[in-house]
Amino acid sequence: MSEKKPRLRGALEGIPTYKPGRPAAAGPAGYKLSSNENPYPPLPGVLETMTSAAGGANRYPDMACTGLMEAVAERFDVPVEHVATGTGSVGVAQQLLQCTAGPGDEVIYAWRSFEAYPIITQISGAASVQVPLTDAEEHDLDAMADAVTDRTRLIFVCNPNNPTGVAVPGAALERFLDRVPDDVLVVLDEAYREFVRDERVVDGLRLYRDRPNVCVLRTFSKAYGLAGLRVGFAVAHEPVAAALRKTAVPFGVSQIAQDAAVASLRSEAELLERVEALVAERARVSRELTAQGWTVPESQANFVWLRLGDRTSDFAAACERAGAMIRPFPGEGVRVSVGETEGNDIFLQTAAAFRKSEF
């Protein structure tokens, strides 16, 4: 065999690997609170649509996602030309980097934030500029605006932020947007938008309308419960949306995903009732943790964050032993998704016991 190997792009060296949330342990007591998934399975009507689309799996899907684009445009009252779909919102985020950034360019985002940002930025060849969250786990928008240089091409604002759950208030976001040069794309990643209850947090779709450099990312994975199907979308003004359509993987979004997403939009009221139940459960979990003595940043998403520092891995191991898989960020903290009541209870009981033994 030849000693020579195919030459790969140097930019790929040292890319951190994406750590998916670990699955629940086998058995009845296993709960997966590690991936911010929706614990509810698809609605029966949505499942029926998926089954029917599966019957046509010998055909390629509608490459232009026509029905889905129209349904999104109608639901969110935006021109259809402003919509671009993709393989999950992370797929769309990666396309946004393909559209805007390459070697020599810079991409700014808060840190810690969604762990895909450093990976997809490095793949693009651009450099990451990570701006630490404040002590209150908030985006430091002033520092992020100060970090803009003439090499900056894209800025992610994860709102609410994964993994801390903290959201950026609208007034602060608008002040920040006013400071960012018009030729820098600001991506408002609103994967958890439907879980936001703080009225000070503005819907990005309101902000994008008169700002051609703002792009809003949304997903069907969280509130709509279709994480396994991989479908998300962006709303942006036409040059950006058109560039996204150019960079889309041909036939990337399956017909099952397209049809299920359209069916979910039609069943939105029912799905949003489930979101309401999860928001109530989030309030219960946060309240109980606070009563136990933990400092819990106010989450506007479907998870909570505990900054545990060097006790992070021990805490995650204790949860795992008790039957709940959570997401540790070693040395920093744990992110725990709001899931089934029983799983949340296991987490809460473990947190109470851990506090008594460790503090």
| Site residues, ligand PLP (CB under 6 A) | 36, 88-90, 114, 158, 162, 189, 191, 219, 221, 227, 232
In this complex, which beta carbon is closest to ligand PLP, that of residue 228 or of residue 293?
Answer: 228
In this complex, which beta carbon is closest to ligand PLP, that of residue 162 or of residue 288?
Answer: 162
In this complex, which beta carbon is closest to ligand PLP, that of residue 221 or of residue 299?
Answer: 221
**Measured from the CB of residue 166, what is the shortest distance to ligand PLP in angstroms?**
12
**Measured from the CB of residue 36, what is the shortest distance to ligand PLP in angstroms?**
5
**Measured from the CB of residue 139, what is the shortest distance to ligand PLP in angstroms?**
12
In this complex, which beta carbon is closest to ligand PLP, that of residue 234 or of residue 318?
Answer: 234
- State in Å, rounded, how far the first CA of the chain is from the last one: 59
User: How big is the chain, counted in residues?
Assistant: 359
Closest residue to ligand PLP using C-beta atoms: 88
Q: Are 322 and 349 in contact (CB under 8 A)?
A: yes
128/113 Cα distance (integer angstroms) = 12
Those residues whose C-beta lies under 8 Å from the C-beta of residue 51, and which sit 6 or more positions away, are none
In this complex, which beta carbon is closest to ligand PLP, that of residue 263 or of residue 318?
Answer: 263
**Measured from the CB of residue 292, what is the shortest distance to ligand PLP in angstroms?**
26
214: left (phi over 0), alpha (psi -120 to 50) or beta: beta
In this complex, which beta carbon is closest to ligand PLP, that of residue 122 or of residue 219?
Answer: 219
In this complex, which beta carbon is closest to ligand PLP, that of residue 159 or of residue 213?
Answer: 159
**Measured from the CB of residue 91, what is the shortest distance to ligand PLP in angstroms?**
6
263/325 Cα distance (integer angstroms) = 31
Strand order in the sheet with 232-235: 83-86, 232-235, 214-219, 185-189, 152-158, 106-111, 127-132
In this complex, which beta carbon is closest to ligand PLP, that of residue 76 or of residue 322?
Answer: 76
Locate 80 and state its tokens: 């259809």
**Measured from the CB of residue 113, what is the shortest distance to ligand PLP in angstroms?**
7
Paired sense of beta strands 303-307 and 327-329, if any? unpaired
Helices (H), 114-254: 116-124, 141-146, 170-179, 204-207, 238-247
In this complex, which beta carbon is closest to ligand PLP, that of residue 221 or of residue 318?
Answer: 221
331/192 Cα distance (integer angstroms) = 25
CB atoms within 10 A of CB 45: 13
Q: Tokens 């950026």 — which residue?
A: 168
Side chain identity at 295, as an amino acid letter?
T
Q: Are 196 and 210 in contact (CB under 8 A)?
A: no
**Measured from the CB of residue 257, what is the shortest distance to ligand PLP in angstroms?**
11
**Measured from the CB of residue 258, what is the shortest distance to ligand PLP in angstroms?**
14
Three-state SS at 303: strand
Locate 17 and state its tokens: 């690997």
How distant, in Å, are the alpha carbons of 48, 110, 213, 228 from that of 154? 40, 12, 9, 28
Q: Are 257 and 226 in contact (CB under 8 A)?
A: yes
**Measured from the CB of residue 200, what is the shortest distance to ligand PLP in angstroms?**
19
